Amino acid sequence: MDIGFRICKRERVAPKELIEAYKQVPVANVSDSMFRMTAAGSKLRPMHASGSMAGSALTVKARPGDNLMFQKAIDLAEPGDIIVVDAGGDVTNALMGELMLAWAIQRGVAGFVINGAIRDVDAFVETNLPTFAAGISHRGPYKDGPGEINVPISINGMVIQPGDIVIGDSDGVLAVPLDAAEEILKKAQAKHSAETRQLQNISEGKNDRSWVDAALKARGCTLP
C-alpha cells in the first residue's frame, strides 16, 4: 500500500432507484432528517446555473492546488458518479476548468463537490453540470500529486465514504451514509410531505401557529 499515491477499489455503490428517490427530496429535508448534524459547510456553493444532483461518491484526497489524482478519478468514473474532492479548502489554485469539465461530461459524471477552487466558470454555467466548489481562481493547478482515490475523506467535518450518496441543491451539499440511506430517505420524504401540506395550509389561510406560543410558555415566557 503506497500511502499518498494509491487508487483503491470502490466496494459498493447505491442502487439507482435509491439515488433517483433522493433527487426528489430537497437537501434541507434530508439534513433535518439527519438531525442537522452534518454539512459540508457554507463555503461550498453552486457554480452551475441551477438544478440539483444525487449520485454515488467517488472520493479523491488531493494535495491543495494539485489535481493529478483528480484527473485520474475522471478516467475511472462510472456514469452517474459524483466526484468528491478533499483538497483542504485552499483556493489559491483552481483544481479543474473547462477541459476537465468537458471530459467529465463525456464520461457521464453527474456532478462535482470540490473543497477547493475551479476556473472557466462560464463553462460550468453553460453546461450546467452540478458543481459545488469553495472558490474561483484563474491560477491553474499542479499535476505532481500526492493523492488518493476511493478513500474516506472529510470536508468541514462531513465524512464521505466511497459509495455514499452525495446530494446537492441551491442550499448546499450533503453526504448520506450508504448504510443508513434507506432509513434517512423515509424520514426525509415524510418531512417533505409534511412541509408540502403546511405550504398548502398557508396558501389557504389555515396555518396553525399555536406551537409558537406553546414553545414560549414552556420556556417561561409571559405572553401579552
Question: Which pTM value belongs to this model?
Answer: 0.95
Q: Could you read off the pLDDT of 144-155 as tens digits, one per residue?
A: 999 999 999 999
In the chain, domain spans:
6-187
SS3 category, 16: helix
Q: Where are the alpha helices (DSSP H) in 77-219?
A: 98-107, 121-127, 181-203, 210-218
pLDDT tens digit sequence for 29-63: 999 999 999 999 999 999 999 999 999 999 999 99
- Other CB atoms closer than 10 Å to residue 16's CB: what's the count? 11
Q: What is the CATH number of domain 6-187?
A: 3.50.30.40
Using CA atoms, how far residue 92 sits from 7, 83, 148, in Å, is 26, 20, 21
> What confidence score (pLDDT) does residue 3 get?
85
Those residues with Cβ within 8 angstroms of residue 165's Cβ, 6 or more apart along the chain or in another chain: 14, 18, 19, 22, 54, 55, 56, 57, 175, 176, 178, 181
Q: Is 220 annotated as a binding residue?
A: no
Residue 212, Cα to own-chain centre: how many angstroms?
33
Mean pLDDT for the stretch of residues 62-82? 98
Contact 145, 65 (CB under 8 A): no
* 100 labelled ligand-binding: yes
User: How many CB atoms lie under 10 A from the CB of residue 22?
Assistant: 24
Q: Is 174 strand, coil or helix? A: strand
Contact (CB, 8 A) for 166 and 54: yes
Count other C-beta atoms under 10 Å from residue 34's C-beta: 17
Q: Is 99 annotated as a binding residue?
A: yes
Alpha helices in 77-141 (DSSP H): 98-107, 121-127
**What stretch of H or E contains 29?**
helix 27-33
- Kindly indicate the confidence band of residue 185, based on its pLDDT and cuts at 50, 70 and 90: very high
> Is 98 annotated as a binding-site member?
yes
- For the segment 14-38, what is each residue's pLDDT rounded down to a tens digit? 999 999 999 999 999 999 999 999 9
Query: What three-state secondary structure class fits 28?
Result: helix
Cβ neighbors of 105 (< 8 A, separation 6 or more) are 127, 129
> Per-residue pLDDT tens for 163-184?
999 999 999 999 999 999 999 9
- In the chain, the amino acid numbered 82 is I
Burial class (CB in 10 A: 0-12, 13-18, 19+), 84: buried
Q: Which three cell numbers stand for residue 72?
A: 485520474
